[in-house]
């Protein structure tokens, strides 16, 4: 028993010793835990605090408000509007169809919309916000915002979106903005970080694209606290960016509106230039399109309508389009010959109705010929043979040189897309372009603005302006940048003798005001707005000898796309020119019948800064003109208010 007692005591002691051993082991490990805690929380605390901040703080860019575009009087041409959107994040929504069904009681969402949205949401990343609806009214937006707590994953956002209040009027010159694409980014060497903002709008075309750097502004930065899903929990601080610069254009919104309306359904282009400083007052191409459609994302049906239209609404015919200038080119040939001294202003050339060149006959438009014509008569009646003759005397190289001096065959530096250089052909050009020698027949064709000669409506307007002023004025579009007016460039003299210019101007005056002028029907009767101009009718087909023998088919009997282009260039007032206008009507028929009345009305609207008084029109035309002007679909004057434009 005592032995057993001894054993028990011994076992108990050993157990206590072993208990100490176990306790010590445990104590040692707990010591290690405490040491590790010290290591992480005290020695490396700074490092981990940095990592924690990296986790929670995200730097987000604040898109800047895009600069506004205004016309010369301050009328808003491109602005920004609040865009109320509703987005959904799939990850935060347990039941996507259920949430959308709830939403459809607040917004007009059809079953079809919902099905489309569900497909879209399934396809995209669960963490990305998907736009359910945008461009909501304030009412719809607030209805959703109020109910947001009951709609998991649904959030409301306000952004700025580009808006073009005059819709189609400025579509070609302003272009439009659209969400930046991967393709856009691939073209840039050092893309601005703000372009990473999803659906950030950048200029795609026209001034919006060319002045992108000026209009865009710079992004602001905000620091936000995000959760592990990247959702913003709160904003820590922000630094606002710089808004884009405002751009004031030389354009006149009302004149532009009139121009587009006056061109109407024709496939046409017109340009009006202020002769004081080369500022473009209006530049329009019809038919046009609504750039707002592109900002919002155009539907494929709408897009197909635009691309399948044979009048090519998407093309900017004013600067991209290059047309044979036809007889409007005759001033170039005339000045080249006058300056070269191969003909005098009063010297007459006999026109039998054609010029024989070897076995080829070059016809005058008037089969019977014009008889003996001097320079003024040749322009007034648009005699072709006169120009065949003087062109042979002066040679193509001098004609091409004169064309470039007057602005044809040179690229005018304008912030518009795809500005065409046109063609002022000469020997070297043909050799380089076709590898062929220049032949005399080419010279004859070029003399009357056919053959290789191509000019854009812009170039024709510039030509008219340079003829009117005798100065090498350059077209310009930007009047002021960020409220700082741009210095008006001083146009250097053309270096053409005043006498020669005066002779050509006299011919242009006779075109409208002479008894036999080709555009005398479009003359004005008010002494303060006497016009000078030149018609042009350029063939888009060759007239064969057989056809000519059978009698040239009248334009009206041809299919539209084979009819002649109708052109007209003009300026006024004759003795103190202020505005030059060019009009090209594609396949319009004759320049005098189709283009000249359009050009006259645009020119008069520009001169009178509004609809001209009927008294300036010949009395026989007044009733017809009144009806025309009264029924024109002009925009409501309230859309041209200039005051109180706030930067949205």
Partner 1 sequence: MSYLDYSLATAPAGWRKVLHVHWPLVFLIGAVSSVGFLMLYSVAGGDLGTWAEPQMKRFAVGLVVMFVIGFTPIKVWKGLSVVGYVGTVLLLVAVELFGSMGMGAQRWLELGPIRLQPSELMKITLVMMLAAYYDWLDPRKVSRPLWVLIPVLLILIPAALVLKQPNLGTTLLLLAGGGAVMLVAGVSLWYFGAVIGTGVGLVSAVFESRGTSWQLIKDYQFRRIDTFLDPAADPLGAGYNIMQAKIALGSGGWSGKGFMQGTQSQLNFLPEKHTDFIFNTLAEEFGFVGGISLLALYVLIIGFCFLSAFGNRDRYGALVTYGIATAFFLLIAVNMGMVMGMLPVVGVPLPLVSNGGTAMIILLMGFGLVQSAHIHRPR
Judged by CB under 8 A, the residue of 15, 115, 305, 552 near partner 1 is 15
3-class SS of residue 253 = helix
- Asked if 520 is an active-site residue, the reply is no
Residue 91 is a binding residue for partner 1 (CB under 8 A)? no
Helix (H) or strand (E) holding 53: helix 45-56
> Do residues 426 and 451 make contact, with C-beta atoms less than 8 angstroms apart?
no
Q: Which of 161, 267, 327, 382 is catalytic?
A: 327
Which residue spans within 414-561 are E strands per DSSP? Answer: 478-481, 484-485, 532-538
Judged by CB under 8 A, the residue of 36, 562, 624, 647 near partner 1 is 36
Judged by CB under 8 A, the residue of 11, 499, 527, 543 near partner 1 is 11
Residue 29 is a binding residue for partner 1 (CB under 8 A)? yes
Residue 484 is a binding residue for partner 1 (CB under 8 A)? no
Judged by CB under 8 A, the residue of 107, 109, 118, 226 near partner 1 is 226
Residue 561 is a binding residue for partner 1 (CB under 8 A)? no
**Bridge partners of 223?**
59, 237
Least distance to partner 1, CB of residue 36, Å: 5
Least distance to partner 1, CB of residue 47, Å: 7
> Do residues 375 and 345 make contact, with C-beta atoms less than 8 angstroms apart?
yes
Least distance to partner 1, CB of residue 1, Å: 15
State how far the Cα of 230 lies from the Cα of 221, in Å rounded to an integer.
17
Of 19 and 613, the one with the shorter C-beta distance to partner 1 is 19
Q: Segment contacting partner 1 (CB under 8 A): 59-67, 219-227, 379-387, 423-431?
A: 219-227
Judged by CB under 8 A, the residue of 44, 142, 553, 627 near partner 1 is 44
Of 29 and 138, the one with the shorter C-beta distance to partner 1 is 29
State how far the Cα of 563 lies from the Cα of 589, in Å rounded to an integer.
6
**DSSP summary character for residue 245:** P
Helix (H) or strand (E) holding 85: strand 76-89
3-state secondary structure 367-388: CCCCEEECHHHHHHCCCHHHHH
Judged by CB under 8 A, the residue of 1, 42, 108, 432 near partner 1 is 42
Residue 38 is a binding residue for partner 1 (CB under 8 A)? yes
Least distance to partner 1, CB of residue 42, Å: 6
Judged by CB under 8 A, the residue of 116, 124, 229, 239 near partner 1 is 229
Cα–Cα separations (whole angstroms), residue 54 to 45, 170, 222, 228, 499 = 14, 47, 14, 12, 78
| Contact string (CB under 8 A) for partner 1, positions 47-66, x = contact | xxx-xxx-xx----------
Residue 8 is a binding residue for partner 1 (CB under 8 A)? yes
Of 233 and 304, the one with the shorter C-beta distance to partner 1 is 233
User: Per-residue DSSP letters for 431-471?
Assistant: HHHHS----HHHHHHHHTT-TT-BB-HHHHHHHHHHHHHSB
> Do residues 102 and 86 make contact, with C-beta atoms less than 8 angstroms apart?
no
Please count the residues of this chain forming the interface with partner 1, following the rule CB under 8 A.
Answer: 42
Residues in the chain, how many? 648
Closest of 245, 160, 166 to residue 201, by C-alpha: 160
Q: Backbone phi, then psi, for 532, in 5-degree steps?
A: -130, 145
Q: Segment contacting partner 1 (CB under 8 A): 28-36, 248-256, 296-304, 415-423?
A: 28-36
Helix (H) or strand (E) holding 619: none
Least distance to partner 1, CB of residue 12, Å: 6
Q: Backbone phi, then psi, for 180, in 5-degree steps?
A: -65, 135
Please list, residue by residue across 374-398, b when 16 or more beta carbons sit within 10 angstroms of its beta carbon and e when fewer do: bbbbbbbbbbbbbbbbbbbebbbbb
Residue 127 is a binding residue for partner 1 (CB under 8 A)? no
Q: Segment contacting partner 1 (CB under 8 A): 3-11, 211-219, 392-400, 512-520?
A: 3-11
| Radius of gyration for the alpha carbons in the chain, expressed in angstroms and rounded | 37
Of 6 and 647, the one with the shorter C-beta distance to partner 1 is 6
Least distance to partner 1, CB of residue 32, Å: 7
Least distance to partner 1, CB of residue 127, Å: 13
Q: Backbone phi, then psi, for 605, in 5-degree steps?
A: -60, -40
| Contact string (CB under 8 A) for partner 1, positions 233-252, x = contact | x-------------------
Structure-block tokens of residue 534: 């030149």
Active site amino acids: 327
Site residues (vs partner 1, CB under 8 A): 7-8, 10-12, 14-16, 18-19, 21-23, 26-27, 29-30, 32-34, 36-38, 40-42, 44-45, 47-49, 51-53, 55-56, 225-229, 233
């Amino acid at each position: 028993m005592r032995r057993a007692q001894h054993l028990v005591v011994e076992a108990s002691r050993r157990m206590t010793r072993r208990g100490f051993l176990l306790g010590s082991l445990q104590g040692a490990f707990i010591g290690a835990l405490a040491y590790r805690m010290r290591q992480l929380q005290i020695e490396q605390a700074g490092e981990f605090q940095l990592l924690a901040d990296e986790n929670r703080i995200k730097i987000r860019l604040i898109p800047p408000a895009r600069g506004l575009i205004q016309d010369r009087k301050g009328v808003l041409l491109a602005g920004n509007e609040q865009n109320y959107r509703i987005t959904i994040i799939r990850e935060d929504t347990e039941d996507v169809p259920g949430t959308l069904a709830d939403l459809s009681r607040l917004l007009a969402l059809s079953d079809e919309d919902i099905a489309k949205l569900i497909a879209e949401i399934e396809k995209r990343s669960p963490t990305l916000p998907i736009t359910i609806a945008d461009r909501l009214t304030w009412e719809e937006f607030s209805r959703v915002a109020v109910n947001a707590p009951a709609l998991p994953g649904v959030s409301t956002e306000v952004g700025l979106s580009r808006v073009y209040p005059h819709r189609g009027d400025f579509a070609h010159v302003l272009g439009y903005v659209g969400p930046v694409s991967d393709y856009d980014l691939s073209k840039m060497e050092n893309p601005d970080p703000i372009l990473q903002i999803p659906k950030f709008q950048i200029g795609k075309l026209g001034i919006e694209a060319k002045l992108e750097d000026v209009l865009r502004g710079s992004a602001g930065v905000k620091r936000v606290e995000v959760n592990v899903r990247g959702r913003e929990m709160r904003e820590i601080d922000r630094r606002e960016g710089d808004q884009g610069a405002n751009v004031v254009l030389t354009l006149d919104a009302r004149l532009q509106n009139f121009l587009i309306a006056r061109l109407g359904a024709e496939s046409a282009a017109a340009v009006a230039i202020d002769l004081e400083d080369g500022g473009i007052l209006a530049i329009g191409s019809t038919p046009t399109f609504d750039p707002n459609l592109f900002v919002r994302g155009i539907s494929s049906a709408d897009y197909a309508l635009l691309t399948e239209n044979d009048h090519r609404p998407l093309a900017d015919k004013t600067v991209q389009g290059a047309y044979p200038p036809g007889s409007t080119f005759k001033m170039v040939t005339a000045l080249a010959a006058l300056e070269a001294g191969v003909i005098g202003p009063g010297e007459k050339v006999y026109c039998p109705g054609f010029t024989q060149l070897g076995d080829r006959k070059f016809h005058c438009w008037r089969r019977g010929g014009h008889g003996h014509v001097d320079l003024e008569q040749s322009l007034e009646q648009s005699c072709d043979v006169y120009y065949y003759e003087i062109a042979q005397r002066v040679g193509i190289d001098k004609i091409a040189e004169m064309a470039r001096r007057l602005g044809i065959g040179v690229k005018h530096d304008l912030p518009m897309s795809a500005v065409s250089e046109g063609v002022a052909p000469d020997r070297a050009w043909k050799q380089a372009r076709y590898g062929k020698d220049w032949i005399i027949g080419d010279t004859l064709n070029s003399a009357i603005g056919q053959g290789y000669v191509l000019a854009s409506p812009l170039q024709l307007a510039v030509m008219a302006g340079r003829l009117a002023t005798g100065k090498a004025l350059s077209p310009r579009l930007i009047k002021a940048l960020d409220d700082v007016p741009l210095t008006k460039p001083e146009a250097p003299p053309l270096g053409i003798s005043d006498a020669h210019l005066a002779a050509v101007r006299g011919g242009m005056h006779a075109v409208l005001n002479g008894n036999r002028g080709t555009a005398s029907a479009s003359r004005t009767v008010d002494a303060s707005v006497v016009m000078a101009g030149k018609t042009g009718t350029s063939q888009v087909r060759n007239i064969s000898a057989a056809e000519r023998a059978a009698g040239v088919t009248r334009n009206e009997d041809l299919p539209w796309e084979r009819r002649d282009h109708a052109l007209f260039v003009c300026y006024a007032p004759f003795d103190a020119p202020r505005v030059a206008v060019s009009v090209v009507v594609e396949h319009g028929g004759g320049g005098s019948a189709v283009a000249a009345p359009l050009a006259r009305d645009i020119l008069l609207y520009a001169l009178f800064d509004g609809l001209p008084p009927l008294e300036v029109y010949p009395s026989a035309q007044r009733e017809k003109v009144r009806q025309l002007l009264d029924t024109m679909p002009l925009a409501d004057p309230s859309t041209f208010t200039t005051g109180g434009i706030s930067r949205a």
